[in-house]
Structure 1
């Protein structure tokens, strides 16, 4: 399919997978309204181009950290992490691997819990999430699990060794910790509304 696009070039061409649409729903909305990333359920989220109003991660820009070793720490950069999205089934799998009964979305700073979308964390970058209420989010990519979120989880299980439990989150939640996204079209998101995810064409560049 793709070789004909570059017939004169001796390249190992990638296969192109067509884009498609899948349906889901908003199972819960949460806001980190305090001084850290921990979030709590709310009735709805008001979003602008800066992200979620009065949320810990609100802002058009942010400061770089350990995820961006190519910049000096604290460099101002585009905030592609305005919204954190998770799925309950993936968190349940991560919890089981950690030997605990649950991971609450708010413990790891989630803003949206989406249901009905298989393998949510594997949605590719550039996927668009359209909400019934009019909001559109663009997926930046997977949200890598870190020890900081693991520490918040561990604090809720005082009978377990806090350090080992916190460290176990990184492996248990790898490719299950959800997605980060930014606001392409602002508005309000409420629990229960439907969503449509538009996956882009995909290919592996070799």
Structure 2
């Protein structure tokens, strides 16, 4: 199939899904102030354009890794992973799939737990999260699960084979591990705040 150059030459345009808004709430906040990515619960997060002040993932830029094979490892790129957001219901499902009783958000470096937004990990790129206190985050996309996060989970279950459990997380958490976002409008987020997800109009770009 050859794609038309202009919209008026297309026989059928992709199906378009209207934009919408979904209301949710911040049920927990966490930050990672040590040398690694695991995070601890806190009452509020102070955000600048560089991300969460003092957090392990703060910064306007970051170094590329395994998620960006199109760059040599260590290439300095824009940091679109300033904030990690998860949902308790999705983590509970991942835990059941892995055969464990729970996954604490801090074990996998989450900064925020949001409730009330169904299928949180499926929020499309470009979604805006408007927080009651004035902060706006822009969703970059799914936070793909990796073995490093799985290994942190496995540390808490010494009776299980550590390597096997870490690898199981990678498959069990696909499309359930939450999203990453960057700061569009800085400020302070408090635990318990209301949040509105603005999902933009969507379509699937046709195959060529």
What is the TM-score when the length of structure 2 is the normalising length? Answer: 0.95
2:195 is aligned with 1:201: no
2:133 is aligned with 1:133: yes
> Which ranges of 4 or more aligned residues in structure 1 deviate by more than 6 Å?
none
1:18 is matched with: 18
DSSP 3-state at the match of 1:65 = coil
What is the TM-score when the length of structure 1 is the normalising length? Answer: 0.96
Question: Structure 1 residues 205, 35: closer, same or farther in 2, change over 3 A?
Answer: same
Query: Shift in Å at residue 75 of structure 1?
Result: 0.2
DSSP 3-state at the match of 1:66 = coil
- Matched residues in 2 for 1:6 and 1:151: separation? 48
DSSP 3-state at the match of 2:37 = coil
2:129 is aligned with 1:112: no
2:85 is aligned with 1:78: no
The answer for unaligned runs of 5 or more in structure 2 is 1-5
- Matched residues in 2 for 1:38 and 1:148: separation? 10
DSSP 3-state at the match of 1:125 = coil
The answer for unaligned runs of 5 or more in structure 1 is none
- Matched residues in 2 for 1:105 and 1:67: separation? 21
- Matched residues in 2 for 1:20 and 1:116: separation? 15
Query: Shift in Å at residue 18 of structure 1?
Result: 1.0
DSSP 3-state at the match of 2:16 = coil
CA deviations on 1:152-192 (whole Å, 9 max, x unpaired) are 00000000000000000011000000000000000001110
RMSD, matched Cα = 0.9
- Matched residues in 2 for 1:153 and 1:160: separation? 11
Query: Shift in Å at residue 12 of structure 1?
Result: 4.2
- Matched residues in 1 for 2:43 and 2:191: separation? 7
Q: What is the total number of aligned residue pairs between the two structures?
A: 201
CA deviations on 1:93-149 (whole Å, 9 max, x unpaired) are 000000000000000000000001110000000000000010000000000000000
- Matched residues in 2 for 1:190 and 1:10: separation? 48
DSSP 3-state at the match of 2:17 = coil
CA deviations on 1:60-92 (whole Å, 9 max, x unpaired) are 000000000000000000000000000000000
1:123 is matched with: 123
1:6 is matched with: 7
1:69 is matched with: 69
- Matched residues in 1 for 2:43 and 2:106: separation? 14
DSSP 3-state at the match of 1:56 = coil
Query: Shift in Å at residue 16 of structure 1?
Result: 1.2
- Matched residues in 1 for 2:11 and 2:193: separation? 45
